[in-house]
Structure 1
Amino acid sequence: MNWYETVFELIDMRSFSNLWFWIALAVLWSSTSHWVLGVPWDMVTRARKAERTGEDDQSVIDLHDMVRINTNRILYIMRESGLLASGFACFILTATFMLGFYYRIEFAQAVFLLAMPMSLVALLSFWSARKIRLREMQGALLYRQMHRHRLVTQVIGMVSIFITAMWGMLQNMTLGVLGG
């Protein structure tokens, strides 16, 4: 096997049989559940602990500042370009769905199975940011909302990984039976 064949075998466009796709899927959902509204989860737990014990007020202030900055940013983006971004996202999702499942392009299937659940997380982030801003959440109420947001994100991730794994196995078995 020469160098050219080795490189193209390593970056094979058959996504579901490629180790890199599964690594990307794991990293995507790991980082998505760690960053809640753009705030690292360890920052939320540190602030919650600090507020409960009455020590290290700076971590509570830092968390509230980060949440305020990120919710303002999310709401600003949605206010200024939300309609355009939504239309573009719907176009991309529809195009990848059609390419993947109607025209049977495996790479498009993989992109759709990554992008569709992430669009749900984006919607969830907008709703959470809006709720935090409208109710001016602070303290325990804010921690509860952040925890709820993370939990729903993790559920979306688990369902997404399950569906992707089942579809990937079906694709690999089908292509294995048909001979490539």
Structure 2
Amino acid sequence: MDWYRIVLETIDMRSFSNMWFWIALAVVWSTASHWVLGVPFDMVMRARRHGGQAERDLEDMVRINVNRILFITEEAGVWGVALASALLSMLAVSGFGYAIELSQALFLLAFPMSLVGLMSIGTAARIRDEGLSGEVLRRKLASHRFWVQVIGLISILVTALWGMAQNMSFTAL
């Protein structure tokens, strides 16, 4: 069992002192910020600069993803909310009630992403209901991206503060 001890010494199993957790946190928020409703934000910028075919491509891509998001929401919305609520509740109780650090870390990652998911559903519904296109669509996508970045910034700040507190209390023991 020497290899088991070596692996556990090499890979710190505590979440907030693990480099991989912080890399995952950065990747999650970077990806969420770049892919707005499943559309890469560089398409929005290209449509703004060049118009024409780039604009049509953006509108087609947004239409496809909006329809996909709303179809999934309409078909499995109740089950999705129930499953997500159960999972977030389980992570919150086991993490903060029973002091399991991995659950705390996963909750601090999943809860803000669930807010982004809800915001994406609302934005998708508004785009479809109002038939947004052109400049109005690009502004709506940019606004959505801005609020995703705000949620991400707050999430990273809260996670960093909580992680520092956990690491300081662990080293004090």
Q: TM-score, normalized by length of structure 1?
A: 0.93
Q: Which residue of 1 aligns with 2:59?
A: 64
Q: Which residue of 2 aligns with 1:16?
A: 16
Q: Which amino acid aligns with 1:6?
A: I
* Unmatched 5+ stretches in structure 1: 52-56
Q: Which residue of 2 aligns with 1:27?
A: 27
Quote how far apart the aligned CAs of 1:5 are.
Answer: 3.0
Matched, 1:119 2:114: yes
Change (3 A) 1:68 1:28: same
Instruction: State the aligned residue count.
Output: 172
In 2: Cα distance, 1:10 partner to 1:34 partner: 33
In 1: Cα distance, 2:14 partner to 2:69 partner: 35
User: Match of 2:16, SS?
Assistant: helix
Q: Which residue of 2 aligns with 1:47?
A: 47
In 2: Cα distance, 1:3 partner to 1:41 partner: 45
In 2: Cα distance, 1:112 partner to 1:13 partner: 16
Matched, 1:142 2:147: no
Please list, as runs of the form range in 1=range in 2, the aligned pairs for 1:150-169 lying within 5 A after superposition.
150-169=145-164
In 1: Cα distance, 2:63 partner to 2:11 partner: 41
In 2: Cα distance, 1:169 partner to 1:15 partner: 11
Deviations 1:105-148 (A, max 9, x none): 00000000000000000001000000000000000100010000
In 2: Cα distance, 1:13 partner to 1:61 partner: 48
Q: Which amino acid aligns with 2:98?
A: Y
Quote how far apart the aligned CAs of 1:4 are.
Answer: 3.4
Q: Which amino acid aligns with 1:155?
A: V
Quote how far apart the aligned CAs of 1:8 are.
Answer: 2.1
In 1: Cα distance, 2:11 partner to 2:119 partner: 33
Quote how far apart the aligned CAs of 1:82 are.
Answer: 0.2
Q: TM-score, normalized by length of structure 2?
A: 0.97
In 2: Cα distance, 1:65 partner to 1:155 partner: 27
Quote how far apart the aligned CAs of 1:59 are.
Answer: 1.1
Deviations 1:23-76 (A, max 9, x none): 00000000110000000010110001112xxxxx22111111100000000000
Q: Which amino acid aligns with 1:144?
A: R
Quote how far apart the aligned CAs of 1:18 are.
Answer: 0.3
In 2: Cα distance, 1:46 partner to 1:156 partner: 25
Quote how far apart the aligned CAs of 1:3 are.
Answer: 4.3
Quick one: which of 101, 105, 130 aligns to 2:125? 130
Q: Which amino acid aligns with 1:120?
A: L
Q: Which residue of 2 aligns with 1:54?
A: none
